[in-house]
């Protein structure tokens, strides 16, 4: 079944809601248009990874954002919008179910230190012009949506596993969208950074900072997020520095 309304496209099954959202953005979808699917057959994760979305178990949706601050440089804009998605999901999980969700910088939402949600923000260009940002959000709602430990690089969980009761996916979606609209209005404000930082996982803890190129593994303490969306850390010699999205992965 498919349902197409002015600002909404629903699919029982689709390759990827981010791919469909990019197609629709190219055809003039309005700001905040929503693509949602019950099942994805080629869900996309960060850095070319696959994202698993079996039917009936997850929230998989993409928002087409067209209206964003012109003042931000591209990497900073993408970092803020990724954080907007993670903040909206973590606030929704707290508000609706009392779950103390954390944001694992830059784009994951953790429950009990396991990944329950991933965010994939992708820029959509028309020539040199940034036409839209596709904000893709995948939440593991039921246990069937969380891949087993051997199949993922960071252990996964689901909202129902942690909550120990069934979750209404549409209610959760509605709360996430409400939070997203609320926080979007504060994207450039200090309050936004503060809310993001308040949910930051591993704060004041030592973590491994893994980097692929050049390959390295460094122990650092997580301090917070910087104004441009970077992660602020301190190494074992007391030196403070910032890391940027795409450069590193964190491991407890
Ligand atoms: C990650 O953690 O690697 C990001 C995962 C993002 C998954 C969501 S599900 C909805 C949207 N459509 C996709 O193909 N990917 C995102």
DSSP H helices, the chain, are 17-26, 74-97, 159-163, 169-184, 190-198
Return d(Cα 66, Cα 53) in angstroms, integer. Answer: 26
Return the pLDDT at 54: 98
Looking at per-residue pLDDT, the higher value among 69 and 45 belongs to: 45
pLDDT tens string 201-238: 999 999 988 877 666 788 999 999 998 889 999 999 99
* Ligand 1 atom with the shortest distance to the CA of 21: 12
Return the pLDDT at 195: 96
Burial of 54 (0-12, 13-18, 19+ CB in 10 A): middle
- Name the closest-CA residue to atom 16, ligand 1: 136
- Cα of 73 vs centre of ligand 1, distance in Å, is 23
Residue from 34, 45, 46, 81 to probe ligand 1 pocket by mutation (most atoms less than 8 Å from CB): 45
Using CB distances shorter than 6 Å, the residues near ligand 1 are: 16-18, 40, 43-46, 49, 51, 60-62, 107-108, 118-120, 136-138
- Name the closest-CA residue to atom 2, ligand 1: 118
pLDDT tens string 71-107: 888 988 999 999 999 999 999 999 999 999 999 999 9
Mean pLDDT over each residue of the chain, to the nearest integer: 93
> Look-up: residue for tokens 């969306």?
229
The two three-digit tokens of residue 221, written as one number: 């303490």
Confidence of residue 70 (pLDDT cuts 50, 70, 90): confident
Q: 181 vs 67, 92, 177, 206, 240, CA distance in Å?
A: 12, 12, 6, 34, 34
- Cα of 206 vs centre of ligand 1, distance in Å, is 28
Return the pLDDT at 207: 92
Q: 29 vs 6, 38, 119, CA distance in Å?
A: 8, 21, 21
pLDDT at position 174 over 70: yes
Return the pLDDT at 250: 76
Return the pLDDT at 72: 87
* Ligand 1 atom with the shortest distance to the CA of 37: 10
By the 8 A CB rule, do 33 and 63 touch? yes
Return the pLDDT at 130: 92
Return the pLDDT at 248: 60
Tell whether pTM > 0.85.
yes
- Cα of 138 vs centre of ligand 1, distance in Å, is 5
- Cα of 240 vs centre of ligand 1, distance in Å, is 32
- Cα of 120 vs centre of ligand 1, distance in Å, is 5
pLDDT tens string 32-54: 999 999 999 999 999 889 999 99
Confidence of residue 58 (pLDDT cuts 50, 70, 90): very high
């Amino acid at each position: 079944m498919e349902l197409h309304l002015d600002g909404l496209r629903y699919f029982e099954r689709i390759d990827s809601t981010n791919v469909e959202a990019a197609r629709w953005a190219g055809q003039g979808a309005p700001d905040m248009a929503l693509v949602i699917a019950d099942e994805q057959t080629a869900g996309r994760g960060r850095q070319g990874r696959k994202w698993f979305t079996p039917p009936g178990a997850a929230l998989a949706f993409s928002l087409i954002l067209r209206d964003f601050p012109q003042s931000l440089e591209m990497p900073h804009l993408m970092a803020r919008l990724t954080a907007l998605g993670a903040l909206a999901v973590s606030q929704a999980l707290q508000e609706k179910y009392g779950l103390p969700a954390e944001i694992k910088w830059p784009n994951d939402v953790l429950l009990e230190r396991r990944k329950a949600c991933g965010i994939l923000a992708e820029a959509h260009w028309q020539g040199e012009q940034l036409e839209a940002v596709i904000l893709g959000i995948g939440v593991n709602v039921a246990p069937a949506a969380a891949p087993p430990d051997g199949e993922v690089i960071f252990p996964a969980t689901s909202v129902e596993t942690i909550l120990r009761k069934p979750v209404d996916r549409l209610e959760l979606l509605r709360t996430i969208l409400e939070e997203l609209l609320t926080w979007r209005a504060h994207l450039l404000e200090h309050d936004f950074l503060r809310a993001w930082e308040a949910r930051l996982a591993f704060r004041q803890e030592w973590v491994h900072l893994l980097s692929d190129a050049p390959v390295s593994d460094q122990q650092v303490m997580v301090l917070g997020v910087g104004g441009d969306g970077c992660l602020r850390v301190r190494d074992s010699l007391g030196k403070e520095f910032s890391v940027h999205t795409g450069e590193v992965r964190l491991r407890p």
